[in-house]
Amino acid sequence: MTDDRRSDRRPVSGSAAPPRPGPNQPPGPPRNLPPGWSPVPPSERNGHPGQQAPEGQQPRDGNPRPGSHGADPRNGQAPARPAASRAPGRRAEVPADDGPTAPGRAPAARSAPGPATRVGGPATRLDDRPDTWGAERPEPRLLTHDGGRPLAATATAAPTRAVAGTRVGGRPATGPTAATDVVQGTAAPGRTRPPDDPPQGPGRRGGGDGSDAGEPPSRRQAKLAALTPQQRRWRRGRRIAYVVLGVAILGPILAFAIGWIAFRIPSADDATNNQVATIDYQDGSTMASLAQAQGNRIKVPLTQVPVWVQHAVASAEDRSFYTNYGFDPIGIARAAFNQAQGGSGGGSTITQQYVKNVLVGDEHSYWRKYREVVIAAKINQEESKDQILENYLNTIYFGRGAYGIQAASQAYYGRDVNTLTPAEGAVLAGLIQAPSKWDPAVDQAGSEQRWNYVLDGMVDQKWLAPGDRAAAVFPAVLPPSARKTGIPDNDRGHIVSAIKDELASYGITEQQVNQEGLKVETTIDPKTQQQAADAAAKTLQGQPANLRTALVSEDPRTGAVLAYYGGSDGSGFDYAQTQRQPGSSFKPFVLLAGLQRNPPVGLGTTFDGSTPQTIAGTRVENSDGESCPNCDLKTAMTLSINTVFYQLGVQVGPQSVADAAHQAGIGAPLDKPTGGIAIGDKEVKPGDMASAYATFAADGVYHRPHMVTRVTTADGRVLYDGGVTAPEQRMSQQLARNVTESMLDVASHSQIPLAAGRPVASKTGTVQSSVKGQNNDAWTVGYTPQISTAVWVGTDDNSPIKTKGGAPIYGRGVPGQIWQRYMNQALRNDPVQQFSDFEAIGTPPAPPAPATPTPDPNHPNGQNGQVCVNGVCVGNPNNGQNGQNGNNGQNGNNGQNGNNNNNGNNNGNNGDNNGNNGNNGNGNNGNNGNNNNNDVFPGF
């Protein structure tokens, strides 16, 4: 547009004026008009150049002249209001074009825009406007309401899509001016606004068919319209990424700020008080209540802690302690990753550990880590490093019930902390991460490894001279002292220790046990546990005092440990954790490897069982000179023929035997096996044997052995819920049942059968001593479908095991008697169950032969006679028939059980059960029969 009031008619900024024609040229339309400008003169817009529409008629473009009544009331249109008369001295004003009227409305009286004027631009006086280009245009005036326009009849005008501030017909990206532009949406009251047409074509806001008469698209609309679908998706994805990035940056900052305000700083006195933890039996009754000894936390100022001890702790736990901000971002990221992978956290700084110990607890969660980080940062800002370290050293747990560095110094060295050397301080610092695990009295090698790590870190941080490091020697510590912790001092004490070890395997620390008031629910049956303790005590009564025994019993259907006996001294060594050679009780795993060979070696496969033999360069003998020249595998298992199983072990390969043992459930490593593994030269635990045999009992299904079923804290949090352990089909039912079949005759042949003819699969084992004719270890392992039990008997110093009479103890002797006594008692109220159906693999075994030993007819009482099984006869100088003297006991009926060669033991039991004191009087002869038993079948 131009400023018509100036003589030179220079264009106003932001507008354009039509060019002037030359002096000898007729006026013509301007070129390159801006969008919205019209080159048609007003007079031509009515269809006749230079003429106005006749009076009473509408122009051809449908726009009524001012002052005309162009609307026909008969057509439902309101008549147009007459034009307002012009006051003297004032120019007539006409409104700008408001666009099409709403349907059913009369078009407003308006005039066409002047030459080269913008549609919707400034209105001019019709009587002063020339129709020729180049003539001066009248001064633009601000539009006001024209009384000649029709008012709204009834309904309100339809809303438009144009927003306030959008000029009708104006150029995009320019604001309206009061003098030239009509702003849509600002019409005077009573004036109707025509509805917008729907968009036509890309980038259009209206305009009907999208012709040039509509409003042109904005630059943004045109840019969006030009994008491909892929570019649109990229644009949308980029915006989402910006939002996510903003949340990722601003979210933690906001959360950190909220935590900073909400969380308080703890003090050392806020450390969680020790609480009583209870361990319950299977039936809910209490086995033990664990309470920490009082007075095990002694606070000392940091000035009493030698600087090398301070540096040792920093080297062990947080080498950036003196420079970090209270938390380690890398450690936090690592902990978050571990949490996402289902593991536990880690990487906490000393400040974070202090906060965790005294305030937020040890729960593995993002919430705990969040609180820990915020409070650690807050403490780091408000307290000095020395104050933080002092509080930490006075609250951290060092094991042996010692909380704080002073209590730890007294527990491990018997003196105050200010007397510790750098080497001693490094030992204590190395304990912090796992106090119970790395106690030098528990794991000397692990403790030394941690000690070296701490000292090397002190050298790296310039806290210790290399020369002092080279001269350091691992210091000795005091042995652990007995503490009043509520742990039972009988056989249950070993159960508590085993349970705490199992809790540690689940990530539940000793500190949590001591501080969080845990309730631990277990699988131990109180009656079954007492029966195990009684069986061990009664059988060992009168035997040499150096004998030790262990018993572990498991439910094959669930893996639940029902009884766990590691000795009568709960504070002494747990013999259920001892690792000893199993001897012949390992032979079922050799058979399992043979059955899985291709082609399989079946129970009916025969071998040369003579003795001695040289097999794979090794001289092998059967125990006590037994011989079976043509034995199938089932007979060889019953008679425990070493030469047969050594041959089979060499055929299948020692590693295959080790793999088969692991397959069944043996947890020992069994590294670098040789041919000797076939006769049990690798060390295992009683629990390993009970668990592996349980897999056979469950038809090849393995259940992880366990004692803990559920752990809850005093405030109701569940730390562990084992539920029912997931079963694993380690082998087929047919495989497991073939192994079971091979052991069905062992118990009766070894004269330790179960009562009521209950089917049982078992195997005995004996480990020979370096002393000729003596043994060091003896085992009996066996199972029914309900219970799998392993019993070991030996000594602390690996010396020969002997009976009261000085005879060597074999597997069928003392351990067999403990096993038999326990199994009969544990199964007394359970129904007799049969094993699953048997289907032979490979060559089937020979038809069963009578397994009952036949006494020498010249010795009806079995004394000094022989017992023969399947044609194999073994001398029996004292076969236990003294048990027949049980008939002279208080209860003659029970004495009749003396028909079994081992019934001397049963008679004594029956005498006790009937209250007739079978251990006194003649009933004692039954026990003496066992005590003098020289094991008819040595080697079992």
CA distance 58 to 44: 14
Contact between 871 and 908 (Cβ < 8 Å)? no
Sign of dihedral through CA atoms 592, 594, 598, 603? negative
Output the six-digit token pair for 85.
């008369």
CA distance 762 to 777: 17
Residue type at 876 in one-letter notation: N
Report phi then psi at 630, rounded to 5: -135, 80
CA distance 651 to 539: 40
Nearest to 125 by CA among 98, 146, 101, 151: 146
CA distance 416 to 303: 13
What DSSP state is assigned to residue 420? -
CA distance 820 to 903: 11
Contact between 560 and 715 (Cβ < 8 Å)? no
Beta pairing class for 277-280 and 519-522: parallel
Q: What is the maximum span of the chain, computed from C-alpha positions, in angstroms? A: 162
Active site residues: 317, 584
Contact between 169 and 123 (Cβ < 8 Å)? no
Contact between 632 and 604 (Cβ < 8 Å)? yes
Can you point out the beta strands (E) in 679-745?
701-702, 708-712, 718-721, 728-729
- Whether cis (ω within 30° of 0) applies to the bond prior to 301 is no
What DSSP state is assigned to residue 503? H
Can you point out the beta strands (E) in 626-774?
628-632, 701-702, 708-712, 718-721, 728-729, 761-768
> Within a 10 A sphere around the Cβ of 249, how many other Cβ atoms?
10
Q: What is the CA radius of gyration of the chain?
A: 50
Contact between 544 and 640 (Cβ < 8 Å)? no
Report phi then psi at 519, rounded to 5: -115, 115
Residue type at 113 in one-letter notation: P
Contact between 777 and 581 (Cβ < 8 Å)? yes
Beta-bridge partner residues of 790: 552, 781
Contact between 591 and 605 (Cβ < 8 Å)? no
Q: Which residues of 352-390 are buried (b: 16+ CB within 10 A; e: fewer)?
A: bbbbbbbbbbbeeeeebbbbbbbbbbbbbeebebeebbb
Contact between 122 and 170 (Cβ < 8 Å)? no
Can you say how many angstroms the Cα of residue 735 is from the centroid of all Cα atoms in its chain? 34
Assign residue 554 a region: left if phi > 0, alpha if psi is -120 to 50, beta otherwise?
beta
- Label residue 919 exposed, middle or buried (CB < 10 Å: 0-12, 13-18, 19+): middle
Angle at 606 between CA 600 and CA 607, to 5 degrees: 105
Residues 6+ apart with CB under 8 A from 472: 422, 423, 426, 455
Contact between 844 and 601 (Cβ < 8 Å)? no
CA distance 930 to 805: 10
